[in-house]
């Protein structure tokens, strides 16, 4: 149900530029404070604007065609880009293609599976691949799962690197690799899941989540927006949880050989 849809305010380009001026002000103060984030802030803001305008044009075309192969292609591109971002965010990374493959595989298994379940069993659109539902749902799940997976892998590899002597000592006294890194695994998964847990804890009290805000601004009933947001948050939590667990499991498998030896040589330290 929509309410007062005729009163939706369209944002012109000059209003977007006005919002961009605030970023320039923030960039100036971060530059004066020598925080080292002014350039990344401005570049990321510029990328965000360009990327969103481009995806807007692409979505208009995809919505008009309404073909499952186009939806699948967009989903695949999103997955590959997310996998690259996960790899780029690691201080200590697995050598070789697995640095990219672990994040990509874990997000594919978790985000795609959870998205398809949500579209088929919960949202139940006439066509589960309807781009109006499939692309936003997959995008929200991939975005949040990407953050969770990146945090989990980064914390796990950093802790293994820093505690490598302790891990090897525990292996020497007869502990299995699973037992030797049990605490590290727990800490890594907590690190990956805490952002989504905290976001769910304050949803509706401290902040209105993005999807709910967007639907309300678009004129939808707050009640409908709330229901969609609840489902999305639950799907996001599941995607983040399984994605993080799969990623950490894959990394741990690569760091130990068949003889339960720690292969610290398979970790490389990225240059700053």
Residue from 70, 66, 79 nearest 125 by CA? 66
Cβ neighbors of 86 (< 8 A, separation 6 or more) are: 100, 102, 103, 104, 107, 146, 149, 150, 153
The whole-angstrom separation of Cα 233 and Cα 122 is 13
List the chain domain ranges: 8-65, 68-269
Could you give the CA distance from residue 149 to residue 23 in angstroms, rounded to a whole number? Answer: 28
Which pLDDT does position 213 carry in this prediction?
78
Q: What is the pLDDT of residues 82-92, one digit of tens each?
A: 999 999 888 89
Identify the CA nearest to 252 among candidates 195, 169, 167: 167
Query: Average pLDDT over the chain, rounded to whole?
Result: 90
Q: Each residue of 247-270: pLDDT tens digit?
A: 999 999 999 988 889 999 898 887
- The reply to whether the predicted model has a pTM over 0.75 is yes
pLDDT interval class at 203 (50, 70, 90): confident
- For the stretch 92-104, pLDDT in tens is 989 888 889 999 9
**C-alpha angle 225/226/227, rounded to 5°?**
95
Q: What is the average per-residue pLDDT within 162-169?
A: 93
């Amino acid at each position: 149900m929509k309410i007062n849809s005729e009163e939706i305010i369209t944002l012109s380009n000059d209003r977007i530029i006005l919002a961009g001026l605030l970023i320039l002000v923030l960039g100036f103060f971060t530059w004066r404070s020598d925080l080292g984030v002014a350039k990344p802030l401005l570049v990321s803001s510029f990328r965000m604007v360009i990327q969103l305008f481009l995806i807007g044009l692409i979505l208009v075309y995809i919505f008009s065609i309404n073909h499952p192969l186009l939806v699948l292609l967009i989903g695949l591109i999103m997955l590959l880009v997310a996998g690259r971002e996960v790899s780029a965010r690691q201080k200590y990374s697995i050598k070789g293609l697995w640095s990219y493959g672990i994040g990509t595989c874990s997000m594919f298994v978790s985000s795609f599976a959870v998205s398809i379940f949500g579209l088929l069993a919960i949202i139940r659109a006439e066509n589960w691949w309807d781009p109006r539902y499939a692309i936003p749902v997959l995008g929200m799940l991939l975005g949040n799962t990407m953050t969770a997976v990146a945090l989990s892998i980064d914390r796990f590899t950093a802790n293994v690197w820093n505690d490598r002597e302790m891990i090897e000592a525990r292996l020497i006294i007869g502990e299995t690799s699973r037992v030797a890194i049990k605490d590290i695994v727990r800490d890594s998964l907590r690190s990956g899941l805490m952002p989504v847990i905290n976001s769910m804890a304050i949803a509706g009290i401290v902040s209105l989540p993005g999807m709910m805000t967007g639907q309300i601004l678009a004129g939808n009933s707050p009640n409908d927006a709330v229901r969609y947001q609840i489902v999305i948050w639950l799907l996001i939590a599941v995607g983040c949880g399984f994605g993080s667990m799969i990623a950490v499991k894959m990394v741990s498998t690569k760091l130990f050989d068949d003889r339960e030896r720690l292969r610290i040589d398979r970790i490389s330290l990225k240059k700053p």
